[in-house]
Each structure stands twice: as structure tokens, then as C-alpha cells.
């Protein structure tokens, strides 16, 4: 084949590649923008990793198939690893000790979409632009040990944190200022535990007791409920109620229009999806009658891909300490069986 033929062949390959990428992006956009009631799990894929998981999962900014988490080692310390969902390969990215953040990593782990900051649950921050680490400042009368980071805003500028004995706060990472999150008691009065902050910054998903089953004592176990609360404290939405055991995890779509959550009942877990107003709610996955590797541990979380077409969670380790990651592909079609 002459040079002209090769040139046309190369150009044709580039055009086909561009068309395929465009169609995939368009389909992903359709999934994000579609009504939650039309979304189902179309495919389930398992990817095994030999590196341990000791935190929530976070999508690596700009990556399509790589996520990150903290891996705890008894001799090597806490390190941040990447996990490739296509190949099953792991790679060490950062050592928390190098940034002075070895102490108390907890389970929280967040990576800003702009790729500038990594935040761990105990209040440690890695500034990737400056290649340095530091601990968050605290309000007067509090210590770093009192902080539990619960969420990071999509722009990477604000944190949602719990401070022991003080409550829940929004914290601006640029100014270091804290603003307490308070609900209007005429709108919402039960105690709450936040689970996620919406990607558009407007809502906080919280778990509390079911309004029809208030506990008679502090120690009494009662059914739970899932609420969405406006960050201005002026509106609440009851999404799910009478949940027998607990709500494990909540994740919002990248455009803030939908969210998913896990309900645990009788040792089994169920993933639901709904629009932000609570409409279209339905189950899209259940590990009922499936092997234990489908369970979602408390050190894992539901991770919704930025393109909106996949949900990822990590199962518990097997006897060889391999970790199973489950990738649930979403689409607008009739769901397939939950069995792989």
C-alpha cells in the first residue's frame, strides 16, 4: 500500500474512533439525564484486586477506569493506591507518611474533581499542586482529633464535617472558616447522620429514625429513614422509611439530578435509585441469595462514575485477601438477573 493509501486508512481509523467516543459519551449523557424510573442495571462485572482496601472509594479525576482508595499495611503504613477496573492492576500513588498524614486515616477518602486535593476522613489534606500535606484548622475549643470529614464539594473548595460535641459544619478550604449546618426545627427535628452531599451542593442525604417509630430510649434500635435536607435548612424530603436495619451509603449523579442508596434488611443489601425529588424510586440491585462477596462493607461506598453509566462498590476480602470490585453498568432497558 502506498503512502496515500496509508494516510487515508489512518484518517478513516481516526474518524471511526471519534464517532465511537461520541456515541459512548452521548449514551452516558442520556443515562445521566434520563428519568430514574427508566434506569436499570444491564450488566454486572467483577474485578479482583490483591491490594487491601481501608477507606471509601474515589474516582481519580480525568480517568475513566481507575479509582483510588487507602490501602492499610501493618508494615508499610497507609498508602493511596489506584485500582484499574479494566485490568485489575494496582499502583501505589502516594504514601500518607510522606505528607505527615499517617495518623488516623479512618474510612473517609475524597479526591476533588479538579485533581488538586485529596482529603482523608480524619482531616488530613494533600495539596497535589504544592505536593504538600497539612491538617485542617479547627474552630476554637476543638482539636484535629475531633474532626470527621463526611464529604467534599464537587469544586473541591468546601468540606462537610462533623466535629465532636459541636455538630455538623461546612468548612471552606480557602478561608478555613466554618459555618454550622442547622435545620429549621419546624421543618426537621430528629437527630441525623449525614451520608452524602449532592454534587450540585444543594442537598445533604441523612439517615435518622423512622418518624413513625421514634425510640423510647437512647439504646433502642428502631427502623431508619432516609431524608434529603436543603443545605439552607429550610426544606426536607422524606425519601425512604421503615428501613429495618440501616442505610449504608448514598451517592449522587454528577449533575445532581438523581441519587442511589443502599438499604440493609435482614443481612441483605438493596440498591435503590430515585430522582432528586424522590420520584421514580425503585430497586436496581440486590445481593439477596447471592454469595457473601457481593456484600458492601462499611469501609466501602457506592461510587457513581462521572459519566453516569456505572456504579462501583468493593466487596469484602476473600480468604486469600483479594478484594472483589463490582461494576454495575446502567442503562435504559429491562434489568437482567443479578447473578453474574
Give the whole-number percent of the chain exceeding pLDDT 70: 86
CATH superfamily of 34-331: YVTN repeat-like/Quinoprotein amine dehydrogenase (2.130.10.10)
Work out the average pLDDT over 114-140.
Answer: 94
pLDDT tens for each residue of 130-163: 999 999 999 888 888 899 999 999 889 999 999 9
Out of 12-21, 81-90, 107-116, pick the least confident. Answer: 12-21
At residue 26, the pLDDT reads 45
Band of pLDDT at residue 18, cut at 50, 70 and 90: very low
Band of pLDDT at residue 91, cut at 50, 70 and 90: very high
Band of pLDDT at residue 29, cut at 50, 70 and 90: very low
H/E element, 33 = helix 3-33
Out of 5-14, 134-143, 179-188, pick the least confident. Answer: 5-14
Residue 95, Cα to own-chain centre: how many angstroms?
22
Give the whole-number percent of the chain exceeding pLDDT 90: 61
pTM of the model: 0.85
Work out the average pLDDT over 124-130.
Answer: 95
Residue the block writes with cell 435518622: 208
Out of 220-224, 261-265, 277-281, 332-336, pick the least confident. Answer: 332-336
At residue 22, the pLDDT reads 42
By DSSP bridging, strand 109-111 and strand 90-95 are: unpaired
User: For residue 243, is pLDDT > 80?
Assistant: yes
User: For residue 24, is pLDDT > 50?
Assistant: no
Distance between CA atoms of 159 and 171, rounded to whole angstroms?
A: 5
At residue 267, the pLDDT reads 81
Residue 45, Cα to own-chain centre: how many angstroms?
18
- The mean predicted confidence, pLDDT, of the chain is 86
Band of pLDDT at residue 44, cut at 50, 70 and 90: very high
Mind giving me the DSSP string for 134-198?
Answer: EEPP--TT--GGGEEEEEE-TTSSEEEEEETTTEEEEEETTT--EEE----TTT--S--EEEEE-
Work out the average pLDDT over 182-201.
Answer: 92
Distance between CA atoms of 120 and 102, rounded to whole angstroms?
A: 10
At residue 46, the pLDDT reads 94
At residue 28, the pLDDT reads 46
Out of 106-110, 121-125, 237-241, pick the least confident. Answer: 106-110
Q: For 141, left (φ over 0), alpha (ψ -120 to 50), or beta?
A: left
Amino acid at each position: 500500500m502506498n503512502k496515500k493509501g496509508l494516510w487515508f486508512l489512518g484518517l478513516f481509523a481516526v474518524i471511526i474512533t471519534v464517532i465511537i467516543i461520541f456515541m459512548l459519551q452521548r449514551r452516558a449523557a442520556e443515562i445521566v439525564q434520563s428519568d430514574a424510573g427508566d434506569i436499570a442495571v444491564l450488566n454486572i462485572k467483577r474485578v479482583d484486586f490483591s491490594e487491601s482496601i481501608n477507606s471509601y472509594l474515589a474516582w481519580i479525576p480525568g480517568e475513566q477506569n481507575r479509582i483510588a482508595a487507602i490501602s492499610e499495611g501493618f508494615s508499610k503504613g497507609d498508602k493511596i493506591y489506584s485500582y484499574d477496573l479494566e485490568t485489575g492492576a494496582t499502583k501505589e500513588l502516594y504514601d500518607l507518611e510522606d505528607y505527615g498524614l499517617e495518623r488516623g486515616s479512618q474510612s473517609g477518602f475524597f479526591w476533588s474533581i479538579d485533581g488538586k486535593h485529596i482529603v482523608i476522613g480524619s482531616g488530613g489534606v494533600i495539596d497535589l499542586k504544592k505536593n504538600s500535606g497539612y491538617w485542617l484548622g479547627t474552630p476554637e475549643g476543638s482539636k484535629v482529633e475531633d474532626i470527621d470529614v463526611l464529604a467534599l464539594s464537587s469544586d473541591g473548595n468546601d468540606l462537610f464535617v462533623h466535629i465532636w460535641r459541636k455538630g455538623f459544619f461546612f468548612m471552606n478550604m480557602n478561608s478555613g472558616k466554618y459555618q454550622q449546618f442547622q435545620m429549621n426545627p419546624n421543618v426537621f427535628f430528629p437527630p441525623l447522620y449525614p451520608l452524602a452531599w449532592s454534587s450540585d451542593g444543594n442537598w445533604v442525604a441523612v439517615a435518622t429514625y423512622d418518624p413513625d417509630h421514634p425510640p423510647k430510649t437512647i439504646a433502642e434500635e428502631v427502623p431508619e429513614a432516609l431524608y434529603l435536607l436543603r443545605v439552607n435548612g429550610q426544606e426536607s424530603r422524606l425519601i425512604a422509611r421503615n428501613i429495618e436495619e440501616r442505610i449504608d451509603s448514598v451517592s449522587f449523579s454528577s449533575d445532581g439530578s438523581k441519587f442511589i442508596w443502599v438499604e440493609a434488611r435482614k443481612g441483605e443489601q438493596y440498591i435503590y435509585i430515585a430522582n432528586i425529588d424522590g420520584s421514580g424510586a425503585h430497586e436496581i440491585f440486590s445481593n439477596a441469595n447471592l454469595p457473601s462477596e457481593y456484600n458492601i462493607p462499611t469501609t466501602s461506598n457506592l461510587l457513581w462514575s462521572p459519566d453516569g453509566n456505572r456504579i462501583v462498590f468493593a466487596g469484602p476480602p476473600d480468604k486469600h485477601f483479594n478484594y472483589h470490585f463490582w461494576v454495575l453498568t446502567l442503562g435504559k432497558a429491562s434489568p437482567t438477573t443479578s447473578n453474574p
